[in-house]
Amino acid sequence: MEYTNKTFTNMNFVSRPGLQTFNSTSTNSMTLSSESFERWRQFIYKSCGIYFQDNKKYLLESRLLKRLNSLKLNSYEEYFDYVNLGSRKTIEMQELYEAITINETYFFRNQPQQEALIQKIIPELIQAKYNTPFKKIKIWSAASSSGEEAYSIAMVIKEYIQPRFPQFSFEIVGTDISKEMLEKARGGVYNDYAIKNLPLNFLKKNFTKTPRGFEITSDIKKYASFIELNLYDDLKMRSMQNFDVVICANVLIYFDLKSKIKVVNHLYNALNKGGYLFIGYSETLHGISQAFKLTSFPKTIGYKKE
């Protein structure tokens, strides 16, 4: 089956541009002791696999401080006890995850990966399924944050793939540990920063300007669904199955080696044979997994499950 289509080369990318004092101690001046840092580090690691190296103590300190300020607590130890109190734990763990994770993202953040999907990978997957009854391509955007990655993929599929292969359906699943980010993804309303790399023609076709910001149109929303998922949760990860592509970019950098091996093994099991895994530019599977075949594309690489 021959596949030819436009690429992204001619796209026009444009840019658009007082704490209280409690018990006479300011939370601004608090520091996380070495003992408390280790206690928090191990607790977070066991909960979600994120590991704060010694040189990131200041980072964990500043992020936990947000919750101390919000709850008007007087110490990191007091907050630790608060998090672990049975009746509060489920709710406060979600707040903790919100505080310690980074959700900086925007549309078309990784153009080379999207080019690889449109020009090579999805056509290859379609060809493999063309004469079978299974005419669906499933894509997983792991750690999808507020949905920009999932919707970027949906837009290029709608523009370049769906018109040529109307008999195929496409399902994009975005997952994240943050309920707040998932709600934002489902709402599909974004600010100027999120659309800064968005091609102008894609903005006009796929967004409606509202008083709240730029809202994704319903014909793009229908491609994607969003669910809460902790990549470190063995039971829930087993439910993620039969994907043709998994994109898990800039996630492994937060894990130690043991956690990376565990998460990558889950991602491998989630993929169909012949499926592809993409990770971040600064990440590698070297020393983590030999189960994938390294595959080169222009300006990026992927990992294929053979």
Q: What is the domain-level CATH number for residue 32?
A: 1.10.155.10
What is the per-residue pLDDT across 233-278, written as a single tens digit (0 to 9) for each? 999 999 999 999 999 998 898 899 999 999 999 999 999 999 999 9
Q: Residue 258 domain-assigned?
A: yes
Mean pLDDT of the 50-75 span: 90
Boundary-marking domain end, from 69, 100, 131: 100
Q: What is the domain-level CATH number for residue 232?
A: 3.40.50.150
Mean pLDDT of the 182-196 span: 96
Amino acid in the structure at residue 289: S
pLDDT at 282 over 90: no
Amino acid in the structure at residue 113: Q
Are residues 190 and 231 both part of a single domain? yes
Q: Residue 17 domain-assigned?
A: no
Q: Residue 16 domain-assigned?
A: no
Q: Residue 15 domain-assigned?
A: no
Do residues 226 and 144 touch, judged by C-beta distance below 8 A?
yes
Do residues 248 and 139 touch, judged by C-beta distance below 8 A?
no
Are residues 129 and 78 both part of a single domain? no
Confidence of residue 157 (pLDDT cuts 50, 70, 90): very high
Are residues 149 and 265 both part of a single domain? yes
The pLDDT of residue 15? 39
Q: Which alpha helices (DSSP H) does the chain contain, by range? A: 34-48, 57-71, 76-83, 86-100, 111-116, 122-129, 148-156, 179-187, 200-206, 218-221, 234-237, 257-270
Boundary-marking domain end, from 100, 135, 161: 100
Mean pLDDT of the 25-52 span: 81
Are residues 196 and 294 both part of a single domain? yes
pLDDT at 156 over 70: yes
Q: What is the CA radius of gyration of the chain?
A: 21
Any idea which of 62-71, 165-174, 216-225 has the lowest mean pLDDT? 62-71
pLDDT at 164 over 50: yes
What is the per-residue pLDDT across 127-140, written as a single tens digit (0 to 9) for each? 999 999 999 999 99
Do residues 288 and 260 touch, judged by C-beta distance below 8 A?
yes
pLDDT, averaged across the chain? 88
pLDDT at 289 over 60: yes
Are residues 35 and 146 both part of a single domain? no
Query: Which range marks the domain in which residue 50 is found?
Result: 23-100
Looking at the chain, the whole-number percentage of residues with pLDDT higher than 90 is: 70
Mean pLDDT of the 60-85 span: 91
Looking at the chain, the whole-number percentage of residues with pLDDT higher than 70 is: 89
Are residues 91 and 198 both part of a single domain? no
The pLDDT of residue 3? 39
Are residues 78 and 219 both part of a single domain? no
Are residues 169 and 69 both part of a single domain? no
Sign for the CA dihedral angle at 235, 240, 241, 246 comes to negative
Boundary-marking domain end, from 52, 78, 100: 100
The pLDDT of residue 91? 81
Q: Choose between 27 and 63: higher pLDDT.
A: 63
Are residues 224 and 86 both part of a single domain? no
Total number of domains constituting the chain? 2
